[in-house]
Amino acid sequence: MVRFENVGMRYGLGPEILRDISFTLEPGSFHLLNGPSGAGKTSLLKLIYLAERPSRGAISMFGREIAATPREELPSLRRRIGVVFQDFRLLDHLTVFENVSLPRRVMGEFESGYRAEVEELLSWVGLGNRLNAKPPTLSGGEKQRVAIARAVVAKPELLLADEPTGNVDPEIGGRIMRLFIELNRLGTSVLIATHDQRIMERLPATRIFQLIDGRVTTAQSAKDLVLAEAMRA
């Protein structure tokens, strides 16, 4: 589904943020992306959701070589990806309902076709009574849930989340993780960038990408990761 081969990335003429990144995300897989702040997790996610271009190397998404894909065909690839941005990136002048339904709207669907699904999804994330609220009136946790609902509303094949449980209490965090696991069971590949230890402990058998100094290493589980870090120390 996603394949990176020796990918490097730099912003402008600055130093290389990511170096020799190679990995594969298989359909239906569940991965965590771990690493300290500033390690390049967000930059790596940007490459995957096609917001940035690599400086070198090759990226393949859904069987298409990105470098050889015409720009006008990229929106159809982006629609197969759901993204939970770290800073939410909600549109303040739109209601919760309108923010969440935006991906369906840009696909050209009419409101009557997705209204019930969006309402159900918002009820599921505990925002069933805030459909008409605007983002500035929401708490950090509520904004995060709106951002998650927007990312999953179009049933993406790949879900990317940048610190999705950073601003929510443990109970809501647990519900969000259960939503991701449920989506994964239904066939969606999930990649979560996090340094939340609770998530890694809750998903003991999950493959973890460790990003340090712009390079990726792979661990088979949170336990392996802890062992590897202990050995490095």
Partner 1 sequence: MKLPSQSGLMPADSASGTTLHTIVAVMSFLACLTLGAVLTLSRLASEWTDGLSGSVTVQLLPSSQISPDDQMSEALRLVRQWPGIFAARAISREEAGKLLEPWLGEGNVLEDLPVPQLIEVTLTPGRPVELEGLGHALADGVPGALLDDHQRWNQELASFAASSEAVGWAVLLLIALATLAIVIFATQAGLQAHREIVEVVHMIGARDVFIATEFQSHFLWLGLRGGVIGLMLAAATLLGSGYLWDVREAPVGAQLLPQFISAPYHYAWLLFVPAVIGLIAMSTARMTVLRVLGRMP
Widest pairwise Cα distance in the chain: 57
C-beta closer to partner 1: residue 163 or 203: 163
- The Cα–Cα gap between 154 and 106 comes to 11
Tell me how far the alpha carbon of residue 90 is from its chain's centroid: 15
- The Cα–Cα gap between 18 and 206 comes to 23
- The Cα–Cα gap between 187 and 189 comes to 6
The size of the interface with partner 1 (CB under 8 A), counted in residues, is: 34
Shortest separation between residue 87's beta carbon and partner 1, angstroms:
10
C-beta closer to partner 1: residue 134 or 195: 134
215 contacts partner 1 (rule: CB under 8 A): no
Yes or no: say if 79 and 107 are a contact pair by the CB < 8 Å rule: yes
Q: In the chain, how many H helices and how many E strands?
A: 8, 10
164 contacts partner 1 (rule: CB under 8 A): no
Give the one residue of 121, 150, 210, 219 binding partner 1; rule: CB under 8 A.
Answer: 150
**Residue 46 DSSP one-character state:** H
Shortest separation between residue 81's beta carbon and partner 1, angstroms:
8
171 contacts partner 1 (rule: CB under 8 A): no
Tell me how far the alpha carbon of residue 81 is from its chain's centroid: 8
- By CB under 8 A, what part of segment 25-64 binds partner 1? 49-53
131 contacts partner 1 (rule: CB under 8 A): yes
C-beta closer to partner 1: residue 98 or 206: 98
Give the one residue of 3, 10, 64, 115 binding partner 1; rule: CB under 8 A.
Answer: 115
Yes or no: say if 30 and 181 are a contact pair by the CB < 8 Å rule: yes
Cβ-Cβ contacts under 8 Å for 29 (sequence gap 6 or more): 1, 189, 190, 207
Q: Name the segment binding partner 1 (CB under 8 A); options: 99-107, 163-171, 192-200, 216-224.
A: 99-107
74 contacts partner 1 (rule: CB under 8 A): yes
C-beta closer to partner 1: residue 114 or 209: 114
Give per-residue burial for 153-162: e unless 16+ CB within 10 Å, then b. bbebbbbbbb
The contact set with partner 1 (CB under 8 A) reads 49-53, 71-72, 74-76, 78-79, 81, 83, 89, 91-95, 97-98, 102-103, 105-107, 111, 115, 129, 131-132, 150, 154
